[in-house]
Structure 1
Amino acid sequence: EKSRKNISPLEFVWFFKQPKIGGHLVLLFLFYSGLIGILTMIKPYMVDLGYNVKEIGFIAGIFGTACGAVMTVPAGLLIRKKGLNKAVWIFPSVNLVAALFFFGLTFTNHAAWMVYIAIGLLWAAYAMSSVFVYTLAMKIVRKGREGTDFTLQIVITHLSSLVIAVMSGKVADVINYRGLFAIEVAIGLLLLLLIPVLYKNHFYNGYENT
């Protein structure tokens, strides 16, 4: 049995030098951006709304995570039925709806049922987007370098999340939660506007493992 070929550090460079890969990488970088700021600040937000630790743990933790887990199955089925070319519009739209709901929530009395809906929608949107991102990343891999290429792409999404998470706390302190949520809405809209530029059907449909 032949031993596995060692991966050269240059493989990382060659991945980023692939033709027309830039739009794909920017798409990955921005995909979660309209949600991460809200996800990062959801617990501090609930503290400021008067919820105690137990309530926050249940609503933002157990309930929210459960909503996300449940929605991964429909997300996968939707991608399978509609394909990536249509799904790339659907999931960012869901993300935008979640951000808009939180922005609208700041104008209400924060009734418990509205908070539940907001958090359920937030986690559902994040989970569904994760399914899409992982599916898209698995498509753009080179033969023999599948694991490396997939990992690189997921790292990009995590770097984006880290940047947004670090900034969101400072933004919320300066312009309050409503301002933060408004920025997330703007990012969600920006992503939808950029999809025709970043997502090229011929790139994804014609991609060959090389």
Structure 2
Amino acid sequence: MRTLVVDHPLVAHKLTVLRDERTDSPTFRLLTDELVTLLAYEATREVRVEPHDITTPVAPMTGIRLATPKPLVVPILRAGLGMLDGMMRLLPTAEVGFLGLVRDEETLEASTYAERLPEDLSGRQCYVLDPMLATGGTLAAALRFLVDRGADHITCVCLLAAPEGCARLEELTADLTIPITVVTAAMDERLNEKGYIVPGLGDAGDRLYGLAQ
């Protein structure tokens, strides 16, 4: 597994505002959207392309276009939905699937409660959107779900990550033989006793959409 922490002043600036407890939900949603677009630029460096012949106003040439099958963007419900528009801004022709995973706050184990994905993902590149890589259990469950359906290349886009979560994710996916990359805006200090990232930004879902469950 490869981990990429995006080092860019605009990323750091937007993330700082996201972290601030005074930032309201509308501003949080807007900044999340903008931040994900910046992360997506790095996350898509290995997106698959194929040659494509065109004619410019001056001469014919061979350029490139996104290869088929199209990439699949998979937001993890519910918080991952707040990252979807920012990702699709860079990959407007990608397809979108949805995966609902919930973490038991006592055991910290993730379980699937909903999914809307193609049955066959053979040969597909997948981009998984999950704001917080905390304990690693949710992402590991998502990756295994996608690989079981045939996905052969997965990039995870996260706003924040914790060292414990990255280590756990790598451990839980060690038997998967496909390329896995984590792209994040920051690697924070640690997890607290409740499994939250420190200093973090709180519960991303609550800050995006409010406290209603």
Tell me if TM exceeds 0.5: no
Bigger-Rg structure (1/2): 1
For normalisation by structure 2, the TM-score amounts to 0.26
> Which structure is higher in RCO with an 8 Å CA cutoff and minimum separation 6?
1
Higher helix share: 1
From the two aligned structures, give the one with the greater strand fraction: 2
